[in-house]
């Protein structure tokens, strides 16, 4: 079970819709001309300008069931959907938050009253997830950002200094230990594994996951991504021993 320690931040999602009449396409009936329309998703930055919505892995648009393939999924900002049609309808937009931040859904009123219009939605996102928090910082402040720069009392400052020194020593040790594993060779070995072995690797990584690891498991696409350099030393050693037995590395 994932826990976010109650920390969250609010961001404004901006949905921009445009439409234009297709003069060279015959209308379906009088008063209902065919139109080309588009919908895109951005975040609203501190100054009110558009900011790429890179906090989402993908965005799914659920169109009217009369459309061919009514569920459309886009994976790159600004997640712009372009279509043609003559009717107005309410669509559900599902935004998949990266770093296992869950899903956010909104209802969007697609209409042709104006050639361009903007709607905004305020949504909250967990700010305790490292990767997600880093990207959220690009569109505004985070709850702990002000506290991070506050001066510490003398006793707390000493504690923080000892903690920092311990952390630096840990980093040096970690870097040294990682040097004993050829990460590039490990990556090449993983590419050579069969399906059954890959499933075992996924299980090992999942069972030994820590908050500092970057993992992306896209079940829908059948893809599993991980950054080997974010893995702890004990897990790297486990993977190395496993791959060495099953692949030529």
pLDDT for 49-104, tens place per residue? 999 999 999 999 999 999 999 999 999 999 999 999 999 999 999 999 998 889 99
pLDDT bucket at 249, cuts 50 / 70 / 90 = low
pLDDT in tens, 167-224: 444 444 444 344 478 888 888 888 888 878 888 888 888 778 777 777 766 545 556 6
pLDDT at 156 over 70: no
Secondary structure of the chain in the HEC alphabet? CCCCCCCEEEEEEEEEEEEEECCCCCCCECCECCEEEEEEEEEECCCCCEEECCCEEEEEEECCCCCCCCEEEECCCCCCEEEEECCCEEEEEEEEECCCCEEEEEEEEECCCCCEEEEEEEEEEECCCHHHHHHHHHHCCCCCHHHHCCCCCHHHHHHHHHHHHHHHHHHHHHHHHHCCCCHHHHHHHHHHCCHHHHHHHHHHHHHCCCCCCCEEEECCCCEEEECHHHCCHHHHHHHHHHHHHHCCC
């Amino acid at each position: 079970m994932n826990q976010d320690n109650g920390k969250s931040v609010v961001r404004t999602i901006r949905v921009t819709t445009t439409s234009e009449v297709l003069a060279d396409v015959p209308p379906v009936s009088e008063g209902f001309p065919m139109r080309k329309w588009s919908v895109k998703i951005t975040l609203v930055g501190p100054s009110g300008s558009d900011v790429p919505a890179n906090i989402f892995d993908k965005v799914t648009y659920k169109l009217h069931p009369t459309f061919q393939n009514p569920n459309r999924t886009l994976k790159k900002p600004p997640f712009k959907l372009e279509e043609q049609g003559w009717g107005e309808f309410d669509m559900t937009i599902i935004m998949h938050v990266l770093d296992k931040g869950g899903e956010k859904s909104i209802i969007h009123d697609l209409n042709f009253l104006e050639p361009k219009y903007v709607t905004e939605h305020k949504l909250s996102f967990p700010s305790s997830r490292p990767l997600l928090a880093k990207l959220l910082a690009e569109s505004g402040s985070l709850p702990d950002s002000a506290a991070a720069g506050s001066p510490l009392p003398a006793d707390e400052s000493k504690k923080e200094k000892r903690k920092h020194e311990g952390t630096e020593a840990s980093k040096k040790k970690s870097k040294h230990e990682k040097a004993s594993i050829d990460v590039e060779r490990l990556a090449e070995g993983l590419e050579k594994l069969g399906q059954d072995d890959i499933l075992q690797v996924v299980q090992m990584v999942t069972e030994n996951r820590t908050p500092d690891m970057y993992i992306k498991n896209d079940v829908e696409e059948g893809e599993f991504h991980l950054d080997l350099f974010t893995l702890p030393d004990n897990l790297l050693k486990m993977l190395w021993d496993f791959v060495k037995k099953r692949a030529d590395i």
